[in-house]
Structure 1
Amino acid sequence: MNDTIKLYRGEVFDFTDSPLDRSDAFRYFPDGALVVKEGIIIDCGPFKELEDRYAGCERIDYSGKLIMPGFIDSHIHYPQAEIIGMYGKQLLEWLNDYTFPAEQAFSSPEHAERIARFFVQELFRNGTTTCMAYATVHAASVNALFSVASEYNMCMMTGKVLMDRNAPDGLTDTAVRGEVESRSLIEAWHKKGRNRYVITPRFAISCSNEQLKAAGRLHEQYPDTYIQTHLSENKEEICNTLSLCPGCRDYLEVYERAGLVTDRSVFGHCIHLSDSECRRLAEAGSVIAHCPTSNLFLGSGLYDMRQANRIGMQTTLATDVGAGTSYSLLRTMGESYKVQQLNGYPMSVLESFYKCTLGAAKALHLEDETGSFEKGRKADFIVLDYAATPSQQIRREYLERNGKWELENKLFGLQTLGDDRNIVATYIMGKRM
């Protein structure tokens, strides 16, 4: 029986609660073990306590490396893989000049499959094991991403983008067709394997009131689906939205009227919110996906994490891609730290890592499946090298020499200097990708 059990030895780290609520919200075993059976976590703790209990099982030794839950990216555009790093403009110019032309190619199933495969493999290379992704208006783009993710048993969350105005002809549908195609995709993919469907009105500028209401109806009919859209990313976007929806007092009300503000809604960016919008989002239990590399690259603004925490808005970290500049949530954490420094809030490294692991899992109602090393969770985990580059190595030597090579300094080095080079291995349900 022990042939099916694997014990991974290394520095084992995960969260048990929010570090904003408790100082002891995490577990850290400097010489630890993670035990996996048939893709499921069955034990976790100090190696010396577990080595005899699992004496006959296969052992994989990552001593000196960090073993932790895989990252969860809560807002990312997979069809924009080809346009990452293009000359940065403001949001609406970016969409018209780069995004919409790139997305029109996804009418081809072959193109969609090629980019979906690249995208999933790039996530694994960066230590991301779960994501909530935007597809395009084409059903083929959704089928491709779910199909590729299913090959790896990855937890994938995505859905057909809904747009029926203010976009090129090749990217618009109608409220009726969008609802019909979305329903068909929900029936085909939602809760099949580890797939989750996300109802995806792109944003209010590209969705008529009829289409937003259709999205709300879909969620009412399938209440365990998710909703994702954009909110208050850019000041020009807000002005355009309110000019299209003159009866609404603010941007959030556009979505509230359509029944899209729920505890399963994820709003990207949310930089320029009023106090009233913040309170209403917190009361609804909605999630904000903070995308710092994108917000800086497009000059959109600085998200206020301290205000979000004070009000009780659930915030996760996300890469966005392609206006975001990296698939790496390590780099994203580093940029988030800089944004919050500009806001006068020195965000702790534990808060950053929490919002990419257990915090994101809780926000997305996935904490019973992923995000920690509790028994019964899927074995989605990553292995990191603290010193994959010469700069990281000399920093490590300095900290060791001064008796400061401790967990938070180790994590902060990964956050500040880390990227895909620090990812030694990515595991999905106990299988190395």
Structure 2
Amino acid sequence: MSVKTFDRGIHPAYHKKLTSGRNIERAALPKTVIIPLQQHAGAPCEPLVKKGDVVQEGQKIADVKAFVSAPIHASISGKVKDIEISNHPGGGRALAIIIDGDGTSRDWKADARPVDINSISADAIRDAVRDAGIVGMGGAAFPTSVKLSPPKGRTIDTVVLNGCECEPFLTADDRIMVEEADHVLLGLRALMKAVAAPAGIIGIEENKPEAIGALRKAIGSASDIKLVILETKYPQGAEKMLIAAAMGRKVPTGKLPLDVGVVVNNVGTAVAIYEAVVLKKPLIERVVTISGNGVNQPKNLRVRVGTPFEDVLSQCGGLKASEGDMEVLNGGPMMGIAQSNLAVPVIKGTSGITVLTAKRLKRVDYDPCIKCASCVDACPMGLMPYRLGDYGKAYRTDDLKSWDALSCIECGCCSYVCPAKRPLVHWIRVGKLKMREEAVRAAARAAKA
């Protein structure tokens, strides 16, 4: 079986076997959910409810008129306990709607009717996706309705579904493809219809044989959808890497996939689109992998948005208390964000909760750069991470711009291979944050002028 890939990248230890053979289980209905109003790229939502309001599962509770945004829905039925600033798993704090549940749950399949995707207009699909609050579920959380609305005159010839799931430990997408292959295909067809793309591709790494078999069976004799087997390599699932590997197309610096005629979505997003179109169900739950050597019973759980991490972990036997210091990540070890407490909620972009014990924690101290260029060899974007790290650490934003820091996808390859253990990706993130802050201030000054 021939496999394709991209230039550079790394081969970390993947640890997929902890959960790759475990079926998706439904997590217990949470008693209380904390639903942040910023769960997506773009403008945060504004609450449509107030303290004391009774809400129903699936009810829209927050929205905003901005184009780049996505509405938010109640993931459980109950009463709004409060609307307050709360800890966010992406770091920092954000306004959140807190709901105390009434213990009831809606059966979305009970009211479902057979739907022929071909009979639905592209506008109706885009509206359904927007109304359901669907975002990219691979972690980036970019509003999907925006991806499905390319500028006039821009032709999309291919929709690519990302089934790579290259982040170590995570297997949520793998299990979705195994257990819901037909729904993945229906979601892909809805995406193709929405952007008038004549072709669809599902890119999947070779380390997922069961999912490959399930998808091949679901595709059957269809000639407009192709399954592309890719080398198991990190970060194979990054948009530009995936397009290069699966299609041989290069997305130019500063451009988007749509500039080369492609729209990329995650397989979990495709299933959410199927549910929005067929079941009329908004994005109120998602599959989350709970894994790592610090959790007693690694699992793949279908979790309601807003469920606190501590509630999810308790359904996996809790943490291995005897192991000492631990790090709990929102996501995986390469791109995940460490949490300061376990009261943070699962959000739309939470693909995994990874718990690492002291045995796997990164060392805090680091040595000077030895100019070995290991980071340059590994960088999938062809950048100079050692320079970008130094500039980010020193807040030298002009130099960051000159060396194309905004092209960095923050995959963490540079930090992973650095023999001096320099936190390069952290410094680059800090530098990019400073660049964005300067841009906001400049825009504010221009508006006043």
Query: What is the TM-score when the length of structure 2 is the normalising length?
Result: 0.26
Query: What is the TM-score when the length of structure 1 is the normalising length?
Result: 0.27
The structure that is helix-richer by fraction is 1
